[in-house]
Amino acid sequence: MSIPTLPNPGLGTFRLQGDTLKRVIHDALALGFRHIDTAQMYDNEQDVGAAIAESQVPREALFVTTKVWHDRLEPASFKASVEESLEKLGTDYVDLLLIHWPSPDDAVPMADYLTALREVQQAGKARHIGVSNFTIAQVDRALEILGPETLLTNQIEVHPFLQNRAVVEHCQARGLTVTGYMPLAVGKVLKDETLKAIAEAHGVTSAQVVLAWTRSRGVVAIPSSTRREHLAANLAADDLTLGDDEIEAIARLDRDERIADPDFAPDWD
């Protein structure tokens, strides 16, 4: 089975809701975005679904991702969560269904919730399945449970200040696409002098430099923005190619600065 390609970049929707989110999705789809990332925990699936329904883009042309929160991993609750997501999104299936976080302290055995994940896929409610915030050891356990070539992605935090090299390289070696969330480090990349200098050399923005760097690593980015011009710039970053020296300069920015680190997170690599 060949690994499908996730549209890159995607549109992150964390912290966006209501009319603002609908406007952003309308703008994004008009500009050419086809990958929309949401989650039950974001409390915006209904707004995402409404915006998709209002758009002129057919559902089959979109790649929609949602996620099951860690308090819904017991199999019966897991499947109920998926049904709730589908109803809110107004669709019979999602293109990608993720485990949002591994079960804290393995309160729910991984085999239980991954089996439920696979059963949802087999029922036609998710075209692809994957995980998020999994460590190297957890990815390996997941593949032992489900088998090779079953998981499309591990969605993890990736930006110049947290490059997550070991996890990225391990996932890619195991056949998983890496999806990087918070690629702009909640705006912190815009203040970095190294990124500013590279951007000025190319006549682009620091955000575009980061997205080009992310793409050079084979990572799918899902930046979030509320401004149409920034959405357009995120897509235009696909035309930017960085030099080896520039990529090396960005590599030196890694400082293990993790932004998403809740108390229920796993023991990071």
| Residues making up the binding site for substrate | 100
Q: Is 73 helix (H, G, I), strand (E, B) or coil?
A: coil
Residue located via tokens 């990736």: 158
Query: Taking the mean position of all CA atoms in its chain, how far away is CA 27?
Result: 19
Annotated binding site: 100
Q: Are 91 and 128 in contact (CB under 8 A)?
A: no
Q: Which residues are catalytic?
A: 42
Separation CA 11–CA 133 (nearest Å): 18
Phi, psi for 182 (deg, rounded to 5): 55, 45
**C-alpha dihedral (125, 126, 127, 130), degrees to nearest 10:** -160
Separation CA 212–CA 208 (nearest Å): 6
